[in-house]
Chain A
Amino acid sequence: DAKTTQPPSMDCAEGRAANLPCNHSTISGNEYVYWYRQIHSQGPQYIIHGLKNNETNEMASLIITEDRKSSTLILPHATLRDTAVYYCIVEGGSEKLVFGKGTKLTVNP
């Protein structure tokens, strides 16, 4: 079973920041937080991952709370192409990525 909890859906206005929360209260010390997204009828796409420090790349920022029990994915300036299902996954070396239900993000014009 997935180790994460995400809201089923969110809406965001184009050009605004999209903040997607994820709860992972049972995360272990060696487990990373990964974020992927899936645009309709395509394979998932990697976004970002982190252990305990905040991370930023060209796609997004990942904010992990100090106790590591939750995190937030931030898309700083959402576009219509960011409409997708976003998956937060906790994984610690088992190699298997187990997907939960994710959050369906809709970016509105």
Chain B
Amino acid sequence: GAVVSQHPSWVICKSGTSVKIECRSLDFQATTMFWYRQFPKQSLMLMATSNEGSKATYEQGVEKDKFLINHASLTLSTLTVTSAHPEDSSFYICSARPVRGRGEAFFGQGTRLTVV
């Protein structure tokens, strides 16, 4: 079946530095990808929609200058957490659908970010 891969699986960074997370659709093209954040014992919260070749669409309350999203190709979206702080520590997950707007979505394995 279709696969979405995230890299890295986990990362520890120092406060004030930036971290880039990659999300790839391995066997299908995705004009749209989605980024979620999940805090411990909570549900997934949609952060933004990544659009290939255009600007990302951010959900209300998500700082676009803090969470930079780039979707430069049909198989790759990146999320950069800029000037990370301990409160940005979370589980970040991406997803994509082979058929736009319907059918099953595939999720990456997630990236555990710890800011120290």
Q: Which residues of A does B touch, CB under 8 Å?
A: 32, 34, 36, 38, 41-46, 49, 85, 87, 93-102
Q: Which residues of B does A touch, CB under 8 Å?
A: 4, 6, 32, 34, 36, 43-46, 49, 91, 93, 95, 97, 100-110, 112
**Which A residue sits closest to B42, measured CB to CB?**
A101
Other A-B contacts than A93-B101, A99-B43, A99-B46, 19 sampled, CB-CB below 8 A, are A32-B102, A41-B91, A41-B112, A43-B93, A43-B95, A43-B109, A43-B110, A44-B95, A44-B107, A85-B43, A95-B32, A95-B34, A95-B49, A97-B95, A98-B46, A99-B36, A99-B44, A100-B43, A102-B43
Main secondary structure on A side of the interface with B: loop
Q: Cα distance A41–B90 when bound, in Å?
A: 11
Q: How far is the CB of B69 from chain A (nearest CB, A)?
A: 15
Q: Cα distance A87–B97 when bound, in Å?
A: 17
| Given A49-B104, A96-B34, residue A42 in contact with residue B97 (CB < 8 A) | no
Whether the Cβ atoms of A45 and B107 lie closer than 8 Å is yes
Q: Could you say which residues of chain B place their CB within 8 Å of the CB of A44? A: 44, 93, 95, 107
Whether the Cβ atoms of A101 and B43 lie closer than 8 Å is yes
